[in-house]
Structure 1
Amino acid sequence: MSDAFEIATVSALHCVLEPHDWAFDRQRGAEIDAHWAARRAEIPALFDGPVLLAHGVSRGNARESATENATENATLGVKFFATRFSRFLAWRDFGFPDASVYNCFSMPALRSADGAFLLGEMGADHSAAGAIYFPAGTPDPSDLRGGLVDLEANLLRELEEETGVTPQEVRLSPDWTIVFAGPRVACMRIAQSPLAAAELEARVTARIATQKKPELAGVRMAARRADLAEPRMLGFIRRFLEPLLPE
């Protein structure tokens, strides 16, 4: 995958669900099933539930920034379709062979009162065990609201499920920051906490310790750009954080 990232700022998302004939699933079904069986043998906790991927991403009213590799536009339009986690996992693990499909998801960038960001280390039962990024989950049918996919609801749900931080305890930034990273489209909003970094880290760590099956193995606080050198941090997370942290 390319390390080239594009950043956009949008004020709104318009995400719809519509049918899509995914050739990758139709043509490589037996291979996908075999891959799923192998992955389940490695990580029995994996569940083949329904998920939503995107087959169209559009950026209307865009204008290029003259000073940064960034694009500003009013609304990001996304066309989602329903599939199953086994199909998504194979597509990801096979190197994203269908370039017409995207993994579009939301992420809360949980920021402490003193400017540090909380990142999670994915647990051993996760399909991306050991990777470090913001709390997140692939959208699924529970995020549907009258035919629309509500990524803000997804963002707040994942934040609470993984960290215990409730929607009432954070203030979301008004705009979305979209990071285009090849087949990944990360839709991020800063979730501002009133807690200092040490307090926020201690609280989430304590929460993880009480969970029987936590999604996170632990948390990391990124307060300075030097903290982004962690090799397990996903590249698009690093790209998002670089301009937000001091040297």
Structure 2
Amino acid sequence: MPNSAVIHRITALDLKVESRVWPFAQMRRAEIDAHFADSQREKPGIWNGRVLLGRNADFSGGRLRSSYFETDFASFLAWRDWGFPDREVFNGFGMGALRSADGAFLLGEMAGETVNAGRIYFPAGTPDPADIVDGALDIAGSITREIEEETGLTPADYHPGAHWDCVAVGAAVAIIRILSVDMPAVTLKARIEANLARQAHPELAGIHVVRGTGDLSPRMPQFVIAFLEREFGARQ
């Protein structure tokens, strides 16, 4: 995967889930477990659940084809924190780009107890086994789940776009779909923040409204910045 952002516009996803033992997780098990223990001491709220990572991404023909396999979060975290030592693997995750009726995008700031504390991006999460449907990864379903968990919005509140923008940066592929909401940004922001206030342990610390490139922040990942620059550039 290139280190600079490459955006592939696609209309279909073909993401098969395979049974695979990850050599990285096997060979470095003791180091991984020690790293996760250190991470848990720093962020007691994290836990070693199961996640899905991708291999063999193919963006040809307007379709993303890839295979996914299951591993533990501790192995994923070590792989990420150690600079992605296995270059055959990528983190391919769905993101719901909430767009208000007045054309702004709304992003969340991750709460302090999360592993990505302070980072600002669209509702997202590394896929897990709950996102597998009939042997394939259901990215649309993953986005629906993450949107509801992080913002309280349900599919009745937004209209998904017809295409996906796959933003590839290094070992990350953000599979982004625009979700249009029929209310202005100020109203949508207030609604999401009211939902966060009702949660005992919200994943988000706040909501950021982005109306143009002047609102971009260095706390946003490169794939989010690349997507927003392309969206706002297309309006000029």
TM over 0.5: yes
Could you tell me how far 1:3 is from its partner in structure 2? 4.8
Could you tell me how far 1:170 is from its partner in structure 2? 0.4
Could you tell me which of 188, 201, 216 is aligned with 1:200? 188
Note the alpha carbon deviations across 1:167-190, whole angstroms, 9 max, x for none: 111000001111011100110100
> Helix, strand or coil: the match of 1:242?
helix
How many residue pairs match? The answer is 234
In 1, the alpha carbon distance for the partners of 2:21 and 2:77 equals: 18
- 1:67: which partner in 2? none
2:230 equivalent to 1:243: yes
Could you tell me how far 1:144 is from its partner in structure 2? 0.8
2:142 equivalent to 1:171: no
The aligned runs of 1:56-135 (5 Å cut-off) are 56-61=56-61, 74-135=62-123
Moved more, 2-11 or 232-241: 2-11
Percent identity (aligned): 45
- 1:159: which partner in 2? 147
- 1:10: which partner in 2? 10
In 2, the alpha carbon distance for the partners of 1:183 and 1:20 equals: 19
Equivalent position amino acid for 1:123 in 2: A
TM-score computed with the length of structure 1 as normaliser: 0.92
2:142 equivalent to 1:142: no
Could you tell me how far 1:78 is from its partner in structure 2? 1.5
Could you tell me how far 1:244 is from its partner in structure 2? 1.7
Is the 2:8–2:59 Cα contact (8 Å) retained in structure 1?
A: no
Instruction: Structure 2: state its 5+ residue gaps.
Output: none
Is the 1:52–1:81 Cα contact (8 Å) retained in structure 2?
A: yes
> Helix, strand or coil: the match of 1:38?
helix
Is the 1:9–1:178 Cα contact (8 Å) retained in structure 2?
A: yes
Instruction: Structure 1: state its 5+ residue gaps.
Output: 62-73
Equivalent position amino acid for 1:218 in 2: G
In 2, the alpha carbon distance for the partners of 1:24 and 1:49 equals: 17
